[in-house]
Every structure is written in structure tokens, then in C-alpha cells.
């Protein structure tokens, strides 16, 4: 390499630029969200915005350190890093501090560290390492099982911490696997399962009345409809015996799923989770209970209008009508104070970042770096979708942060590490032979 001494050579400054804009926009909005007359200085370290500035500073330092570390370190020590994080996840279950029903924090001095925020990075690096290993083919059952174990182990541990939102993030790896050759059927099955689950929820308490006094409850009707669709698909290809078997299997599985919705909904999910899903589906209107957050969030965003109320002028967020307005519901501050135009800018910034990462993956020579890049994009995409979707009533209320925006040291560090490792791999892409 001509200039191997400079770590900044070959660095993708556009991504860095997007990163810095998002982080500082986040900081301003945290200031606006928790603004109060008493502590007006944006640098006041006793307030969230003062602390967030500390997190931003340390994140940038972390990023620079990452850039100094040799790129081979990440590939070589991928499993070690993964193991350490898994150990921490187990440890936090045993000695972690409990806040808001979740046991996911280590309290160290005055600060709190959340290992699950680093587990995303660790899992991503391990999955990338595994899938980039020579002679590994995703079509092999063994590969699928190993990948699944790598992905689900941290997910299950995080679920055990009672942090459902963070656990669901691991679902985003299905896109990475899909890119690496996992059959599209898995995606179809995933989407179809979700669709059936939602339909079953909507229809299960309805009674449908047909001519000739036939009354069917929604669950039965849905099973009949699935049966008809399966029969139709088979009829179009009626020579294929294989398809017949598949369709029968699909039908039985669907019927089983539909019938078990009640059980899952009432016994597996926590009551508050069931309620949030019901509210999102419009099955339950409960503006004072479970629907409160979403309703207040919509009011804040909706009252912003086209150009917003102006910086620090957002009454809904400033006066605490929106819950968690500096963390999970930070997007409300953007929507209220900067309006539709501000929201538009933020969404475009995020999508630009995601597309930029996807573009960067295409120029990687190493499979490890490439697959790692997919992971970064998919994790960020999942957070972006669920978080913003939740604030505008398109997704159930699942408490996960908006990357780079939400207040919180662990999550900002976690996302920064995730991104900067990819930037390091990208800047050293030429070293890979």
C-alpha cells in the first residue's frame, strides 16, 4: 500500500459525514426534548444532553481507536469477541441491575452498561466470520443450524433479560442469510406466518354470517380460506405430487398456527405485549392505557405540521406529554419541532446511510467484510423501521432506540462500534488479496 501509515486513507468520508450529522441532530433533539428553564446550558453534564455530548465524544474516540486497530484483528478474534459478549449476557442475568422490569444493565460507578447493545456487533462479526469461512454453503442444513445457533443464542439470552425489543433485532439477520443464499421461501414463510398471525388475531373474535343461516367464527373461516388457497395453488399444478404434499403440509401448519394464536396471545405473550399489538391493529382503542404512548406520540408529530413549531417550541415533548421522549420516542421531537420537512430530511439521511452501506458492500473483496456490511445495514434498518414505525403508529410499541439519535451511552457506543468496524474493513479493502 502506498500510504499505509495513514488510517484515514481510503476512509469513506461520506458515511462519516452522515454519521456525524445524525449524531449531532440527535443531540440537539435530546436537548429540546428534555429542555427545561432551570438547566439551559446544552453542555450541562447533569442533564441528558450534557451526558449525551460525553457519549458522542467517547464514541468518536472509540471510532478512531477502531480505525487504528489492524483490520485482521476483527476477523481473527471474531469468535473470541462473540464468546466474551455471550459471557457478559449470561453474567448480566446473574448480577445485573433491574430497571423497568428488564435485567439488562451492569451498574459500574455512576454509569450503566448494557451488554445487549454490544451483542449486536458481536453477533454480526461472528456470523460474518462463519459465513465467510471457506467451503461453507448456506444450502447445507448444518450451516443453517450453526448460523441459527449463533444468532439465537444472544437473542434468547436477551429475551431472558426481559428485553423483548432488543431480542427481536436478531430477526434482521434473516436478510443477511437471504443475501448469502438462504432460500427466499424462508422470507415468504416468515411474512406469511406474520400475515396469518395478524389475520387470525383480527378475525378470532368475529362471527361471520352467510346465506342459509351458516354462521362461522373467524378462526374456522380463516382455516377454510387457507385451505381453498392451498387447493387452488395445487390445482394450477395438479400433476406435481410434490406440490400436493407441500400444500397439505402448509395447510396443516397454517391451521395449527391459526388455532394456536389464542394460546400464544394469551399465554406466551405478556399481557402488555398482547395489548400493544391489539392497539396497533386497531382492535382495541385505549388512549389512556396501552394506547397512550402511541396517541401522544402521534399528537406530537401530527401537531408539527409542515415546517414544525421551531426549535425548543414543541409543547408536547417539552412538557412531557410524550413518554420516553429522549430515548425511544426521540422521533417525536423531530416531528413536532421540525415538522414534515424535518422528518423527511431525517428519513432521507437514514436511507442514504443504509444505501451507502449497501453500496460499500459491493466493493468489498473479502466475504467477511461484505457480509459484515449487510449485517450493519440490516440491524440499522430494523431499528429504523420499528422505532419510527412505532412513533407514527405503524408498528407495535417495542422499546428499541433510534440509532445515533436516542439518548443512551451503551446504544450509541454499540452502533458506533458496529459502523466504524465496517468503515475500517472498508478502508482496508485493498489489503485483502
Partner 1 sequence: MNKRALESRTLVISVVFVLMAVIFIIRLFYVQVLNDKYKLDADNNSKRNITEYPARGLIYDRNGKLLVYNEAAYDLMILPRQVPEDLDTNSLCKLLRISKDHFIKKIEKAKAFSYYKSSIFEREFSSEEYARIQEQLYKYPGFFVQTRTLRNYPEGTAAHVMGYISEVNTAVIEKNPYYKPGDYIGKSGIEQSYEEELRGKRGLRVVMVDVFNREKGKFAEGIYDSTAVSGNDLELTIDADLQKYGEQLMQNKKGSIVAIEPTTGEVLALVSAPGYDPNLLVGRERSNNYALLNQDELKPLFNRALMAKYPPGSTFKSINALIGLQEGVITPSTKFSCNNGYNSGRFHMGCHSHPSPVDLKYSIQTSCNSYYSNVFRTIVDHYKKTETGYSKWRNYVLSFGLGTKTGIDLPNELNGFVPNIDYYDRYYRKGGWSSLTIVSLAIGQGELGFTPLQMANMATTIANRGYYITPHIVKKVGNKRVEVIDTSIYRHETGIAPKHYEEVVEAMYDVVEKGTGTSARIDSIQVCGKTGTVQNPHGEDHSTFIAFAPKDNPQIALSVYVENGVWGSRWAAPMAGLLIEKYLKGKVKREDIEIRMLEGNLIEIPKKP
Dist CA 78 CA 84 (whole Å): 10
**Cβ proximity to partner 1, 17 vs 319, nearer residue:** 319
Judged by CB under 8 A, the stretch of 71-79, 101-109, 344-352, 412-420 that binds partner 1 is 344-352
Q: How far is the CB of 388 from partner 1 (least distance, A)?
A: 6
Query: Counting contacts by CB under 8 A, is residue 198 touching partner 1?
Result: no
From 39-47, 75-83, 109-117, 314-322, give the range in contact with partner 1 by CB under 8 A. 314-322
Does 394 engage in binding with partner 1 (CB under 8 A)?
yes
As to burial, measured by CB atoms within 10 angstroms (0-12 exposed, 13-18 middle, 19+ buried), residue 39 is middle
Q: Of the candidates 120, 129, 179, 276, which one interacts with partner 1 according to CB under 8 A? A: 179
Map the footprint of partner 1 across residues 267-296, applying CB under 8 A: 288, 296
389 binds partner 1 (CB under 8 A): yes
- Cell numbers 354462521 correspond to 215
Applying CB under 8 A, the span of 90-98, 246-254, 352-360, 397-405 interacting with partner 1 comes to 352-360
Q: Of 334, 330, 331, 344, whose CA–CA distance to 309 is shortest?
A: 334
**Strand 214-217 and strand 207-210: pairing?**
antiparallel
Using CB under 8 A, which of 279, 388, 419, 423 touches partner 1?
A: 388
3-state secondary structure of 404: coil
Residue 340 as a binder of partner 1 (CB under 8 A): the answer is yes
- Out of 151, 175, 200, 398, which residue is the one contacting partner 1 (CB under 8 A)? 175
Cβ contact 414:121 at 8 Å: yes
Give the strand pairing for 207-210 and 111-113: unpaired
Residue 381 within binding range of partner 1, rule CB under 8 A: yes
d(CA 313, CA 366): 49
Name the one range near partner 1 by CB under 8 A: 22-30, 96-104, 232-240, 377-385.
Answer: 377-385
Beta bridge pairs of residue 98: 103
Please tell me the distance from the alpha carbon of residue 90 to that of residue 115, in angstroms, as a whole number.
10
Please say whether the beta carbons of 46 and 399 come within 8 A: no
Check residue 311 for interaction with partner 1 (CB under 8 A).
no
152 binds partner 1 (CB under 8 A): no
Residue nearer to partner 1 on the CB measure, 101 or 305: 305
Give the DSSP letter string of 129-169: HHHHSTT--TTSHHHHHHHHHHHHHHHHHHHHTT-HHHHHG
CB of 344 to partner 1, least distance (A): 6
CB of 308 to partner 1, least distance (A): 9
Residues in the chain: 433
Q: Of 186, 201, 192, which Cα lies nearest the Cα of 229?
A: 192
Told to check if 407 binds partner 1 by CB under 8 A, we report no
Q: Which of residues 335, 375, 399, 408 is near partner 1 by CB under 8 A?
A: 335
Calculate helix-pair angle for 141-160, 116-132, nearest 10 degrees. Answer: 170
Q: Is-contact 143 390, C-beta < 8 A?
A: no
CB of 178 to partner 1, least distance (A): 6
CB under 8 A: which stretch of 41-49, 63-71, 237-245, 386-394 binds partner 1? 386-394
358 belongs to the binding site for partner 1 (CB under 8 A): yes
Q: Is 232 in the site for partner 1 (CB under 8 A)?
A: no
- Name residue, grid cell 391489539: 278
Which of these segments, 190-198, 272-280, 303-311, 400-408, binds partner 1 (CB under 8 A)? 303-311
Among 35, 173, 321, 329, binds partner 1 (CB under 8 A): 321
DSSP symbols for 263-290: HIIIIIS-HHHHHHHHHHHTS---TTTT
Nearest CA to 369 out of 425, 320, 312 is that of 425
Rule CB under 8 A: say whether 344 interacts with partner 1: yes
Cell of 141: 442444513
Binding site for partner 1 (CB under 8 A): 139, 175, 178-181, 288, 296, 298-306, 315-316, 318-321, 335, 339-340, 343-344, 347-348, 350-351, 354-355, 358, 361-362, 374, 377-378, 381, 384-385, 388-389, 392-394
Amino acid at each position: 500500500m502506498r500510504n499505509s501509515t495513514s488510517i484515514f486513507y481510503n476512509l469513506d468520508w461520506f458515511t462519516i459525514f452522515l454519521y456525524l450529522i445524525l449524531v449531532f441532530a440527535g443531540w440537539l433533539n435530546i436537548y429540546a426534548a428534555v429542555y427545561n428553564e432551570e438547566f439551559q446550558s446544552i453542555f450541562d453534564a447533569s442533564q441528558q444532553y450534557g451526558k449525551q455530548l460525553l457519549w458522542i465524544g467517547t464514541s468518536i474516540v472509540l471510532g478512531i481507536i477502531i480505525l487504528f486497530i489492524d483490520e485482521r484483528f476483527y476477523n481473527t478474534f471474531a469468535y473470541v469477541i462473540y464468546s466474551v459478549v455471550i459471557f457478559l449476557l449470561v453474567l448480566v442475568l446473574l448480577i445485573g441491575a433491574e430497571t423497568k422490569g428488564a435485567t439488562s444493565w451492569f451498574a459500574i460507578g455512576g454509569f450503566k452498561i448494557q451488554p445487549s447493545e454490544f451483542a449486536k456487533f458481536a453477533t454480526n462479526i461472528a456470523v460474518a466470520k462463519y459465513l465467510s469461512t471457506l467451503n461453507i454453503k448456506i444450502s447445507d442444513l448444518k450451516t443453517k443450524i450453526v448460523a441459527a445457533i449463533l444468532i439465537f443464542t444472544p437473542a434468547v439470552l436477551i429475551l431472558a433479560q426481559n428485553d423483548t425489543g432488543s431480542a427481536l433485532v436478531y430477526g434482521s439477520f434473516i436478510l443477511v442469510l437471504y443475501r448469502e443464499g438462504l432460500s427466499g421461501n424462508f422470507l415468504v414463510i416468515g411474512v406469511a406466518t406474520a400475515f396469518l398471525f395478524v389475520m387470525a388475531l383480527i378475525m378470532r373474535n368475529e362471527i361471520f354470517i352467510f346465506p342459509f343461516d351458516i354462521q362461522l367464527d373467524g378462526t374456522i373461516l380463516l382455516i377454510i380460506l387457507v385451505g381453498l388457497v392451498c387447493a387452488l395453488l395445487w390445482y394450477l399444478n395438479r400433476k406435481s405430487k410434490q406440490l400436493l404434499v407441500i400444500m397439505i403440509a402448509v395447510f396443516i401448519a397454517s391451521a395449527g398456527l391459526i388455532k394456536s394464536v389464542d394460546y400464544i396471545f394469551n399465554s406466551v405473550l405478556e399481557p402488555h405485549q398482547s395489548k400493544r399489538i391489539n392497539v396497533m391493529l386497531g382492535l382495541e382503542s385505549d388512549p389512556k392505557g396501552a394506547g397512550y404512548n402511541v396517541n401522544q406520540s402521534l399528537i406530537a408529530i401530527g401537531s408539527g405540521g409542515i415546517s414544525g413549531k421551531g426549535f425548543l417550541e414543541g409543547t408536547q415533548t417539552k412538557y412531557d406529554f410524550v413518554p420516553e421522549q429522549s430515548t425511544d420516542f426521540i422521533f417525536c421531537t423531530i416531528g413536532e419541532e421540525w415538522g414534515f420537512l424535518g422528518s423527511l430530511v431525517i428519513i432521507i439521511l437514514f436511507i442514504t446511510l443504509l444505501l451507502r452501506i449497501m453500496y460499500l458492500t459491493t466493493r468489498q473483496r473479502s466475504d467477511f467484510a461484505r457480509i459484515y456490511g449487510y449485517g450493519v445495514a440490516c440491524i440499522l434498518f430494523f431499528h429504523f423501521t420499528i422505532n419510527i414505525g412505532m412513533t407514527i403508529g405503524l408498528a407495535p410499541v417495542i422499546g428499541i432506540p433510534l440509532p445515533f439519535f436516542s439518548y443512551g451511552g451503551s446504544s450509541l457506543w454499540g452502533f458506533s462500534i458496529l459502523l466504524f468496524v465496517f468503515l475500517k474493513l472498508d478502508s482496508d479493502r485493498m489489503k485483502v488479496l
